[in-house]
Amino acid sequence: MNLRAVHYYKPPIFIASLLPLALLVQGYVQDSLGANPIEAITRETGDWTLNFLLLSLAITPLRQITHWQWPMRLRRMLGLFAFFYACLHFAIYIWLDQFFDWKGMVYDILDRPFITMGFLAFVLLIPLALTSTRGMMQRLGGQRWQRLHKLIYVSAIAGVLHYVWLVKADLQEPLTYAAILAVLLGFRAVMQYRKRQLSGQPPANRASARPPAG
């Protein structure tokens, strides 16, 4: 796909990313979210936070495997949608679960490990969202910006742990998220290892270590 063509694909992808929220609003209005609509909304916003986090983490492996450059143009939007749904998830917890009981929230965060992990995952997304613009990238400098944005790995791990520790019965779905995250992080670890190995080789050996073209 031509990089310029991504410009035309962004609006429909943006609209599609809002579709889960629209369906939740429709379900709430039509009273079709089940016996506990608050729990359903909380679960769905949490799921979509993880979905967008994993999608944004999958962009770099996709580029490295396929050599496509255009998915990189979508990574920032996917990351911001992860933050958007995380904000909704956290707002529901503050408003409809805790009823703005700040003391109770502090107790929850300190005493319940799955809440601790969820809060950590959310807090780590805040600086990533605030520094997602090109202007902030230039102000921080490329290396500092990249180091800061590695927090997304910690946030994703904390988010998956939050889900795993929350569920007490059927662990199939949270463990699926954990498996996908493990594959994505494992791929990155392998690529970093190969990069370090190649950087330590003489130029002639480094050239011969590359896979043949075609």
Residue 79: Cβ-neighbour burial (10 angstroms; 0-12, 13-18, 19+): buried
In angstroms, the CA 92 to CA 172 distance is: 25
Please say if the pLDDT value at position 202 is more than 70. Answer: no
In angstroms, the CA 61 to CA 43 distance is: 28
pLDDT of residue 193: 85
Q: What is the pLDDT of residues 125-147, one digit of tens each?
A: 999 999 988 888 888 877 888 88
Domain boundaries in the chain? Answer: 3-201
Q: What is the pLDDT of residues 86-119, one digit of tens each?
A: 999 999 999 988 888 899 899 999 999 999 999 9
* Residue 203 confidence class, pLDDT cut points 50, 70, 90: low
Helices (H), 67-214: 72-92, 102-111, 113-130, 134-140, 142-149, 151-166, 172-199, 203-209
Q: What is the pLDDT of residues 32-43, one digit of tens each?
A: 988 888 899 999
Q: Which residue has the tokens 């809002």?
A: 18
Model confidence, pTM: 0.86
**What's the longest Cα–Cα distance across the chain?**
67
Tokens encoding 80? 């911001």
In angstroms, the CA 73 to CA 148 distance is: 19
Instruction: Return the closest-CA partner of residue 130 out of 115, 109, 151, 160.
Output: 151
- The rounded mean pLDDT for the chain is 87
